[in-house]
Amino acid sequence: MNRLAAYAAQLESLASRERLRERRPAAGLDFTSNDYLGLAASARLRAAVEAALERGVPVGAGGSRLLRGNHPEHERLEAEAAAFFGAERSLLFGSGYAANVGLFATLPQRDDLVVHDEWVHASVHDGLRLGRAERAAFRHNDPEDAQRKIAEWRARGGRGRAWIAVETLYSMDGDRAPLDEFGVLADAQAGFLVVDEAHATGVFGPDGRGLASALEGRENVIALHTGGKALGVGGAWVNAPRLLVEFLVNRARPFVFATAPPPIVAAALREALAILREEPERRERLRALVAHAEARLGALPGAAPAGTQILPLIVGADGAAVRLAAALGERGFDVRAIRPPTVPEGTARLRISLSLNVTVADVDALAGALRELDLGPASGAERG
């Protein structure tokens, strides 16, 4: 018996449908990464890491935060992050994925209901599968549908808390959630609102504090901020009331049982927060680049600009998206094809990510290359 045959068959099936994922090195102009402010390779972050090493900050933690891995750099970062975002407490995780899994597997309780946007990140779904609460999806960016899901649950006898889970800026379409309406719904239901600021942190809000900055600090608002996108480093924070953070410290398995994030990463993130405060021109330059890109790319077939740094170009068929990305790669542009199940069936796309790693001239060159490739009408661009 070939023990590997089943795995080979599944990979062959993915390949036949042009959905096989592969690791590719970074090459060409960066229209793919989430390094929106161009901090990942910045001189200032490099200097901060060098200075931290010089003062003895270790590279590795050596254990979990609850054993010997709790370093002063972790605690300094959490205190500074809580103050920066206006939260009562902040808790550092190794990644946004780990933070979402820990949050949703831990905080909603057995009698509770989590209603989530149908397009929330996979990490939310994985956390909910590990948790004890009931869950239900509502239509994308539709607070009324979320309210209906909660009302249906109550009518079936649901008596716990309602949790509403949204992203503030969605990573595949670049559109924003109607946060004020979701906040009103959470208040009306005496429930909680969980906002994932992953793609908004550093880019939007006062000093880059995100799209939900006006809501943070409320007793019923929990926010997640990642350090590996616009901040250029890694890790993620959960910002919440002190009591909920202490509950996560005691019960969230991705926190309790994981080796702590490297202290040197915490030191770099402290510098990244300082950059957000002290270099607002980075956000201004990104806004100008986004406006220029929408003017040059927004009229292309399948383009769906949303006024943010994420500009999808809906192609439709999986294979067509893959071939278009490959053709752009041959011309020196790193733009990746995104296919189901990451996006809905029939909406395979190029996800054009705008960052300070490219210039206005680079955007013009990309627009020219796409026109040369003669996109034609987008196939399957409409959502079902």
The pLDDT tens digits of the residues spanning 272-298 come to 999 999 999 999 999 999 999 999 999
Compute the average pLDDT of residues 37-58: 97
250 is catalytic: no
Whether residue 248 sits in one domain with residue 143: yes
Whether 284 and 266 share a structural domain: no
Residue 80 backbone dihedrals phi, psi, to 5 degrees: -70, -40
Is-cis flag, bond preceding 72, omega within 30?
Answer: no
272 and 288 fall within a common domain: no
Residues 285 and 171 in one domain: no
- Tell me whether residue 79 is in a domain: yes
Check whether residue 193 and residue 77 sit in a common domain: yes
State yes or no: is 199 an active-site residue: yes
Selecting among 100, 171, 239, 357, the annotated active-site residue is: 171
- The region, left, alpha or beta by phi > 0 then psi within -120 to 50, assigned to residue 28 is left
The active-site residue out of 121, 225, 271, 355 is: 121
- Residue 377 belongs to some domain of the structure: no
Task: For residue 378, tell me if it sits in a domain.
Answer: no
Q: Determine which one of 30, 35, 175, 196 is catalytic.
A: 196
- For residues 302 and 258, membership in a common domain is answered with no
Catalytic residue among 30, 35, 112, 167: 167
When divided into structural domains, the chain yields a total of 2
What's the pLDDT at 383?
34
The tens digit of pLDDT for each residue in 320-338 reads: 999 999 999 999 999 999 9
Asked if 121 is an active-site residue, the reply is yes
The model's pTM: 0.92
Do 297 and 185 reside in the same domain of the chain? Answer: no
In terms of domains, do 260 and 342 share one?
Answer: no
Q: Is residue 304 in some structural domain? A: yes
- 171 is a catalytic site residue: yes
Domain residue limits at 263: 57-277
Whether 103 and 161 share a structural domain: yes
Same domain for 146 and 253? yes
Please check whether residue 255 is in contact with residue 248, taking contact to mean a CB–CB distance below 8 angstroms.
yes
> Closest Cα to residue 211, out of 167, 275, 173, 270?
167
> Given 213, 242, 277, which residue is the final one in a domain?
277
Same domain, 189 and 336: no
Task: Determine if residue 42 is left, alpha or beta; phi over 0 gives left, psi from -120 to 50 gives alpha, anything else beta.
Answer: beta
Q: Are 80 and 270 in contact (CB under 8 A)?
A: yes
In a domain, 31, yes or no: yes
Any idea what the CATH number is for the domain that residue 366 is in? Answer: 3.90.1150.10
The tens digit of pLDDT for each residue in 121-136 reads 999 999 999 999 999 9
Catalytic: 35? no
Domain containing residue 235: CATH number:
3.40.640.10
Both 205 and 285 in one domain: the answer is no
